[in-house]
């Protein structure tokens, strides 16, 4: 039996927001940074958004659903443009949320310079259709943005990357999300993709390649107590790293991490998906996990077809 509290959660928040906005200026700051973006001006061309993660299971999704994927608006992330699928799919959106992409390339000492340059070369040379590149507000004026804006097909939009809002009210937080005053924490870029799909008013959002199975590859060295994690993407069997902290049998050494801190970060990522599912229900948006394999168990499983 559906509890009265659950029914109230479905109807009371929207009514509360509607009444509140009739008597309160919507432009009044909600103790957050100033709105810095116009991503709300992007108009979806279809009713479905396909969020394409880079997990290994994406290869299986492409085998049987590639034509269906191409028929819908798609959003891709990170190094997707370095694959042949980028030109074939021609996504409508590209999201970068990892701060590592927005380093000052000439002065980089973090080891990400090659990754950033590889991304820039690929997206600049391959993009011959209109695409919306969505990046955090703090990326304004960075080297990457200054370069990619020279390609007239790439349209850069910023979202407000502030993700802290001091309130115990979910409805107030969702309203702040809905006005791009804050965004959900980018524990993983797919969190932000889901929020963006709801923000842009897609009726249905489908996740594919969202394996999110990092915990399967967590290792503790039994002699040194070092923590390693082995990540894998659809375009390679094993993550290739030039780092001195990489061992083929274990993965990348998580320098500076405690085991409980790492597990907590992953737990927060999954917790955010639960919050996003509530936000989607609040906005009347359906989210489905259509991945062939995934640890995300909050969204209803449904094939894209």
Q: What is the pLDDT of residues 27-49, one digit of tens each?
A: 333 333 344 446 767 777 789 99
Give a yes or no: residue 130 inside a domain: yes
Looking at the 3D structure of the chain, how many domains does it have?
Answer: 1
Compute the distance between CA of residue 74 and CA of residue 93 in angstroms, rounded to an integer.
Answer: 6
Name the DSSP class of 167: -
Give a yes or no: residue 33 inside a domain: no
Give a yes or no: residue 224 inside a domain: no
pLDDT at 132: 95
Q: Say if residue 18's pLDDT is above 50.
A: no
- Domain limits at 113? 44-212+269-301
| Rg for the chain, CA atoms, rounded | 20
β-sheet bridge partners, residue 301: 289
Q: Where are the alpha helices (DSSP H) in 149-301?
A: 170-178, 189-199, 259-283
Q: What is the pLDDT of residues 210-268, one digit of tens each?
A: 998 888 888 888 888 988 887 676 566 544 443 444 455 567 788 888 999 888 888 88
Please give the model's pTM, rounded to 2 decimal places. Answer: 0.80
User: In which element (H, E) is residue 109 found?
Assistant: none
Please answer whether residues 77 and 193 qualify as being in contact, where contact means their C-beta atoms are separated by less than 8 angstroms.
Answer: yes
Please answer whether residues 234 and 84 qualify as being in contact, where contact means their C-beta atoms are separated by less than 8 angstroms.
Answer: no
Closest CA to 215 of 255, 269, 256: 269
Q: What is the pLDDT of residues 51-100, one digit of tens each?
A: 999 999 999 999 988 899 999 999 999 999 999 999 999 999 999 998 88
Q: What are phi and psi of 60, to 5 degrees?
A: -70, -35
Beta strands (DSSP E) in the chain are 48-52, 73-77, 93-95, 131-136, 154-159, 204-208, 218-220, 227-229, 246-247, 251-253, 286-289, 300-301
Closest CA to 156 of 140, 172, 138, 170: 140
Tally of CA atoms within 13 A in the half-sphere of 264 that contains its CB: 5
Give a yes or no: residue 27 inside a domain: no
Pick from 62-76, 138-152, 177-191, 241-255: least confident: 241-255
β-sheet bridge partners, residue 136: 159
> Any idea what the Cα angle at residue 94 is, between residues 90 and 99, rounded to 5°?
155
In the block, tokens 């070092």 appear at: 226
β-sheet bridge partners, residue 205: 49, 287
Q: What are phi and psi of 74, to 5 degrees?
A: -125, 150
Name the DSSP class of 236: B
pLDDT at 15: 43
Say how many C-beta atoms besides its own lie within 10 A of residue 144's C-beta.
22
Q: Say if residue 157's pLDDT is above 70.
A: yes
Report the helix count and the strand count for the chain, using DSSP H and E. Answer: 8, 12
Give a yes or no: residue 70 inside a domain: yes
Give a yes or no: residue 52 inside a domain: yes
């Amino acid at each position: 039996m559906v509890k009265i509290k659950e029914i109230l959660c479905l109807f009371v928040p929207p009514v509360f927001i509607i009444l509140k906005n009739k008597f309160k200026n919507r432009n009044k700051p909600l103790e957050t940074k100033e709105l810095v973006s116009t991503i709300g001006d992007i108009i979806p061309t279809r009713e479905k958004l396909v969020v394409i993660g880079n997990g290994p299971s994406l290869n299986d999704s492409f085998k049987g659903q590639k034509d269906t994927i191409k028929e819908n608006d798609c959003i891709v992330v990170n190094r997707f443009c370095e694959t042949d699928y980028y030109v074939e799919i021609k996504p409508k959106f590209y999201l970068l949320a990892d701060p590592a992409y927005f380093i000052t390339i000439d002065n980089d000492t973090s080891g990400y310079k090659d990754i950033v340059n590889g991304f820039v070369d690929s997206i600049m040379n391959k993009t011959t259709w209109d695409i919306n590149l969505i990046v955090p507000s703090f990326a304004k004026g960075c080297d990457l943005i200054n370069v990619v804006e020279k390609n007239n097909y790439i349209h850069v939009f910023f979202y407000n990357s502030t993700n802290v809002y001091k309130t115990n009210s979910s409805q107030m937080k969702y309203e702040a999300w809905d006005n791009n005053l804050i965004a959900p924490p980018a524990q993983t870029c797919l969190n932000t993709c889901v929020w963006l799909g709801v923000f842009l008013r897609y009726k249905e959002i489908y996740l594919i390649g969202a394996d999110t199975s990092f915990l399967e590859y967590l290792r503790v060295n039994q002699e040194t107590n070092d923590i390693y994690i082995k990540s894998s993407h659809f375009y390679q069997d094993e993550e290739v790293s030039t780092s001195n902290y990489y061992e083929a049998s274990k993965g990348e050494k998580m320098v500076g991490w405690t085991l409980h801190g790492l597990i907590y970060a992953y737990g927060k990522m999954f917790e955010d998906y639960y919050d996003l599912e509530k936000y989607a229900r609040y906005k009347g948006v359906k989210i489905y996990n259509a991945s062939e394999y995934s640890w995300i168990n909050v969204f209803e499983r449904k094939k894209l077809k």
